[in-house]
């Protein structure tokens, strides 16, 4: 497991690069962290590292945002905070995203769908550290 400390937002590109390089054949990522820890901010950085240059919005209300990449691939940014059950996730078609053969899938608040998540997904934990630092584990 890799551990990285971010003392400011300026540290995020290097951590994002390390994540993508250490899992260069993976496209499905799960983000575990408390509210306000920076999941969406880190995902924005990951999207930029992958070549997406437009604005990125939190998918808390739409649940799923789709970002097209210049290489004709796609990023699905999913926020399951508002869902209450696996059944609700299945109703929105979550399995189509989980099993998409090439798209990147970044999922915030994945706890609700853990029973149906393939074990090949990369888990990223973000913890609050001292002095507003963030600690990333993956």
Does residue 116 carry a pLDDT above 90? yes
Express each pLDDT in 33-57 by its tens digit: 999 999 999 999 999 999 999 999 8
Listing DSSP states for 103-123 in one string gives: -EEEEESGGGGGGGS-TTSEE
- Cα separation, 38 vs 40, in Å, equals 6
Q: pTM to 2 decimals? A: 0.95
Question: Percent of the chain scored above 70 by pLDDT?
Answer: 100
Domain chopping of the chain, boundaries: 3-137
Q: Does domain 3-137 have CATH number 3.40.50.300?
A: yes
Average pLDDT over residues 64-89: 97
Residues 6 or more apart from 27 whose CB is under 8 A from it?
102, 103, 104, 105
């Amino acid at each position: 497991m890799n551990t990285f400390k971010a003392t400011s937002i300026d540290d995020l590109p290097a951590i994002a690069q390390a994540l993508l390089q250490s899992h260069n054949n993976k496209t499905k990522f799960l983000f575990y962290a408390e509210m306000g820890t920076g999941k969406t901010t880190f995902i924005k950085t990951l999207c930029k590292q992958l070549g997406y240059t437009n604005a990125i919005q939190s998918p808390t209300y739409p649940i799923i945002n789709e970002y097209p990449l210049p290489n004709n691939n796609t990023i699905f940014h999913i926020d399951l905070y508002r869902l209450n059950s696996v059944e609700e996730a299945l109703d929105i078609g979550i399995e189509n995203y989980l099993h998409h053969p090439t798209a990147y899938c970044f999922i915030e608040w994945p706890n609700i769908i853990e029973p149906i998540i393939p074990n090949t997904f990369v888990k990223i934990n973000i913890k609050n550290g001292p002095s507003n630092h963030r600690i990333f584990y993956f």
